[in-house]
């Protein structure tokens, strides 16, 4: 029902109650038709005010929608900022973790490897480690 407000200018609907008043007043000058003009004029005035009420309501809802849309845009921008910060933090910290891991492996390859021949790892040690490291099913 509100589609009509999209295709017409708002000021046109102000003329409807005025038209109703004009029809009502004309009943004073065209007395033979007073029986038709008075109720017709009254009906047009009532309908005109009702349509103006609809127009006011439509405009109020449009404004509310506009305000909400603005709030949504602000919230979406904040959301995007949070996501960007988290992405950057993950990238930076993952890089640090990987570098530390490489440093440890370099140290192992340099220092621990000297004891490979003098230290035998029992099979039971390997089994215990692998059982703990196995993915849970």
Partner 1 sequence: MKLLLILCVFLTGCSTVVPVTQKFPEAPNALLLQCDNLKMLPDTATLSEVARTVAQNYQSYHECSLKHSMWIEWYQKQEIIFKGFK
C-alpha span between 35 and 57 (Å, rounded): 34
Of 71-130, binders to partner 1 (CB under 8 A) are 71-72, 75-76, 78-80, 82-83, 86-87, 89-91, 93-94, 97-98, 100-101, 104-105, 108-109, 112-113, 115-116, 119, 121, 123, 125-126, 129-130
Chain centroid to CA 81: how far? 15
d(CA 61, CA 49): 18
Instruction: State which residue, 25 or 104, has the beta carbon closest to partner 1.
Output: 104
- Counting contacts by CB under 8 A, is residue 7 touching partner 1? no
Q: Which two tokens stand for residue 106?
A: 């370099």
Residue span 28-47 as binding mask against partner 1, x where in contact by CB under 8 A, dash where not: --------------------
- Count of beta carbons in the 10 Å neighbourhood of residue 37: 20
What is the rounded CA–CA span in Å between residue 97 and residue 94? Answer: 5
**Least separation in angstroms between CB 45 and partner 1:** 16
Cβ–Cβ under 8 Å, residues 50 and 36: no
Using rule CB under 8 A, residue 65 touches partner 1:
yes
- Distance in angstroms (rounded) separating the CA atoms of residues 137 and 129: 17
* Closest to 5 in 3D by CA, of 14, 44, 41: 14
* Residue 6 near partner 1 by CB under 8 A: no
Site of interaction with partner 1 (CB under 8 A): 1-2, 50, 53-54, 57-58, 61, 64-65, 68-69, 71-72, 75-76, 78-80, 82-83, 86-87, 89-91, 93-94, 97-98, 100-101, 104-105, 108-109, 112-113, 115-116, 119, 121, 123, 125-126, 129-130, 133-135
């Amino acid at each position: 029902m509100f589609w009509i407000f999209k295709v017409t200018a708002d000021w046109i609907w102000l003329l409807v109650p005025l038209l109703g008043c004009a029809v009502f007043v004309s009943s004073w000058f065209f007395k033979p038709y007073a029986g038709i003009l008075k109720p017709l004029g009254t009906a047009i005035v009532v309908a005109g005010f009702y349509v103006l009420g609809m127009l006011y309501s439509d405009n109020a809802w449009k404004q509310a929608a506009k305000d909400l849309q603005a709030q949504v845009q602000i919230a979406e921008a904040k959301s995007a900022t949070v996501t960007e910060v988290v992405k950057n933090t993950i990238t930076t910290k993952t890089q640090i973790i990987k570098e530390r891991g490489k440093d440890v492996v370099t140290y192992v390859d340099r220092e621990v490897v000297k004891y490979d021949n003098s230290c035998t790892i029992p099979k039971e040690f390997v089994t215990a480690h692998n059982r703990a490291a196995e993915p849970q099913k």
